[in-house]
Structure 1
Amino acid sequence: MGEIDLIFYVPPILFSSVALTFLVLWHMKITPAWQWSAGFAQTAAGFVISTFLPEPYSAAFVSGLIFIGAAYCYGSGLLAHFNAPRLRIPRLLFAATYSIVLAYLVFAEQSLVQQLFLTDVGFALLLGVAVWIVARRASRPIDIALVVTSSIVVLDCLIRAIFFTFFTTSSDDFGDFATSLYNLEVSVSTMTICMFFPFTALGASASAAIERHQAAAETDELTGLLNRRGFKRALERDFSSGCPRGSLIVCDIDYFKRINDTFGHAAGDKVIAGLAEEIRGLVAGRGSAARYGGEEFMAFLPNASLQEAVALAELLRVSFANRDWHHEGLNRKVTTSCGVSAVRDGEATLDCAIDRADCALYAAKSAGRNQVMAEITRAADLRIGDSRNLPALARSLGTTRSGAAA
């Protein structure tokens, strides 16, 4: 067996190994797209069939179908990786049309040159559409590398199709394919520039899996908000270059234990999810929010004044109190109480602001619930509420309130 013969064995072995690796990753739920494994497995099978199947017409037709199936799977893997629209129907219609034309060129025209041109162009178009769709979604270096290497595969197919169709005098006999210069070029290009494609796909899938694991570790499963750990990490990222500035809202659900005891924990979970939905809408684009534990939530609003945070907390209180819970099986009104504080000059962390917001929340609970209370930092802050109407406990904690008890 000569060196040239050995070259033809390398691509199927390499792609089979990559396909097996992706299959294991998919089975371990590290990558959600099984199409990567299917695409590389089909590519390996296509090389084997086109080169070693003794009946040339069947080899040309079957390998053509397999390669277009690989292009479809690669495109699906890309679209899934970047959470892009799958466009299944248009891409399947394209593959079906390709199959009909392929059958005609192989069995009616019996033209190897036209069949190879069709397969290369079809592969490039089917994969190229997916690359075009996801190109603007790539932001991480490994994702950009995946888009670049995918583009190289597309260009390799197009250049080969043009070169061997219009600039060479290749044999048109299907029996000559195995020993043709075209087959040698495909094997060589696959082992060189195109091998970057499967390895960047592996790298991008592994990187995405790591990010999903980190996100899961920092996200509350019930509400989709950050958990305590994720909230602290988000603040560390936001204020890594300086001291935090802004205001903090802490809130929890009034009489939540009664809801659980009366209507069950499933209803309690729905109430928690409902408040999380209100908070998510409140802070969207403004800051970070988290389920800090149990029925307690926390939101940080960078650069927001105490008065602005109080106003937002009041909007939250009113909106949540007006929710209709009958479709969730609750025949009662559900309310929330909030405590608000601002980060003071010289405070390098939110710890003290959180303590003050907790005190304000405690005051709101003690004063009757279903209200917003804010710390008093200066005499000017008294304009948030009327100090003459504050209960003694609120004054002793240095708070002022908004809203009415229920």
Structure 2
Amino acid sequence: MGDSSLILYIPPVLFSIVALAFLLLWRLKVTPAWQWAAGFAQTAAGFVVSTFFTEPYFAAFASGMIFIGAAYCYGSGLMEHFRTAQHAGPRLAFVGCYTIALVYAVYWKASLVHQLFLTDAGFAFLLGWSICVVTGRASRAIDKALIATTWIVVLDCVVRTVFFTFFSNSSDNLSDFATSLYNLEVTVSTITICMFFPFTALGASATAAIDRHRTAAGTDELTGLLNRRGFRDAILSDFDSGTPRGALIICDIDHFKGVNDTYGHAMGDRVIRALANELERNVASCGRIARFGGEEFVAFIPHASIEDAVGIAESIRSGFAARDWRKQGLARSVTVSCGISSIDECETTLDPAVDRADSALYAAKEAGRNSVFFRSPHGVPDTISRDMGKLFAASSRVSK
């Protein structure tokens, strides 16, 4: 094989390297999608089989199946990356129909033109189907670039199959593929235009891994809520976009150490998750929630008045106190105390409000627990009441 034919070795080498890179990323849990590695490995194998295997029928059929397998894996990788349903049933049904048609084109018609048309059209359709499923979920710039470069691959397949099927006088003999203009064109387009696709996929996978790490760093593993770091980062972002007004609630499970010591840490974890669920039920739609550590939780509710916050906190307190723990092996009630404060207009951080809410929480504990206390920005004792069939009066007085 002359020097001019060395170009035919480039696609399998490049795709093998990319496949190994994705395999390593998958093994290191940087990307959850092993399908990327499988897809690029199959693409490399497809180039090897179609170009260098001498038995034409086997090469035509095997390469056609390998390339459709690559398209399936690329689609699966996209769906896994964007966390959508895999639609495996319909896609596998299409692969089954494609296989029957490929058998007919290769072993019945013995037609290179038909085989190439089926391979390109099937590849483009299967990959294009997957792109249509995930396109609406691309929000990051790198994800949009991944969608764009994948469409370029599909467009390359469509243009090539239209040209060589309807506008070219290429040989229809299966044994002529290796020396055909088609083989040269697909090699050149692969190592120029289509190589944007694997490297964009690598970039998108790396970016997603960084985002997952950043999210995990700001998330409490037990409850799935924000942790202290994540909460402060989120609130800092709120302050940067304009000083938020609202109310802060700090909740702390009463006598939690007794639950842990008597019933074990597993039961303690259940109690913590239960309070997290109660907070999510009452606050998730209107504010931010975090587990600050241990049995302490914080909720920030933008634009909420003290009256609003007291109503929400009382709903949390009463809902949590009403839980029946006996089926879970906890033969006692569990309650929560809450401290509340609003944010003063002149405050540029959340720290003063946290201190006031913490002071109110301490007063709630001192007053007997299972209650809601609040403190104004100026330390003036507040009493808030609301009517829910009966008068709820805040039972606290927190002085300066």
TM band (smaller chain):
over 0.9
Paired residue for 1:197? 197
Shift of 1:91: 1.0
CA shift at 1:325, angstroms? 2.1
CA distance in 2 between counterparts of 1:383 and 1:329 reads 37
SS at match of 1:219: coil
**Structure 2 unmatched runs, 5+:** 388-392
Q: How far has the Cα of 1:289 moved from its partner?
A: 0.8
* Aligned match of 1:35: 35
Q: Distance in 2 between matches of 1:368 and 1:183?
A: 82
Q: Using the alignment, how far apart are the partners of 1:240 and 1:65 within structure 2?
A: 55
Matches within 5 A, 1:56-75: 56-75=56-75
8 Å CA contact 1:305–1:342 kept in 2: the answer is yes
1:377, CA displacement in angstroms? 5.1
Q: Secondary structure at the match of 2:338?
A: strand
Alpha-carbon distance in structure 2 between the residues aligned to 1:202 and 1:383: 56
SS at the partner of 1:374? Answer: strand
Distance of 1:326 and 1:61 partners within structure 2 = 65
| 1:404 aligned partner | none
Greater shift in the superposed pair: 132-141 or 239-248: 239-248
The Cα shift of 1:53 comes to 0.2
Q: CA deviation at 1:333?
A: 1.6
Shift in Å, 1:326: 2.8
Q: CA RMSD in A?
A: 1.7
The residue number in structure 2 matching 1:233 is 233
2:383 aligned residue: 382
Superposed counterparts of 1:83-232, under 5 Å: 83-232=83-232
SS of the residue corresponding to residue 292 of structure 1 reads strand
Bigger shift: residues 73-82 or 361-370:
361-370
Give CA deviations for 1:355-396 in whole Å, capped at 9, x if unaligned.
10001111111111111111145779534489xx887xx435
The answer to whether the 8 A contact 1:56-1:174 is kept is yes
Q: Which amino acid aligns with 1:242?
A: G
Q: What are the superposed Cα offsets for residues 84-131 of structure 1, whole Å, 9 maximum, x if unpaired?
A: 111111111111221121112111111110111011111111111110
1:245-269 Cα distance to aligned partner (Å, 9 max, x none): 2110000111111111221110000
Per the alignment, do residues 53 and 335 of structure 1 end up closer, same or farther by CA in structure 2, a change over 3 Å counting? same
- Whole-Å separation in 2 of the counterparts to 1:78 and 1:383: 53
Corresponding residue of 1:295? 295
Structure 1: runs of 5 or more not aligned: 399-406
Query: 1:115/1:327 Cα in 2 relative to 1: closer, same or farther (>3 Å)?
Result: farther
Aligned AA (2:290): A
Whether the 8 Å contact between 1:363 and 1:397 is mirrored in structure 2 is: no
Structure 1 match to 2:390 = none
CA contact (8 A) 1:321 1:333 kept: yes
Q: Distance in 1 between matches of 2:258 and 2:383?
A: 34
After superposition, what is the alpha-carbon deviation per residue over 1:235-292, rounded to whole angstroms, capped at 9, x for unaligned? 1112213323211000011111111122111000000011111112222231211100
Amino acid aligned to 1:345: E
- Length-normalised TM-score, structure 2: 0.95
Q: Residues 129-183 of structure 1: CA distance to partner in whole angstroms, max 9, x if unpaired?
A: 1100110100100000000001111111111111111111111100100010111
Say which of 360, 382, 395 aligns to 2:397.
395
| Correspondence for 2:268 | 268
What's 1:343 paired with? 343
Q: Which residue of structure 2 lines up, in the alignment, with residue 280 of structure 1?
A: 280
TM-score normalised according to structure 1 size: 0.94
User: What is the rounded CA distance, in whole Å, between the counterparts of 1:241 and 1:84 in structure 2?
Assistant: 32
Counterpart AA for 1:352: P
**1:25 corresponds to:** 25
Instruction: Give the drift of 1:17.
Output: 0.5
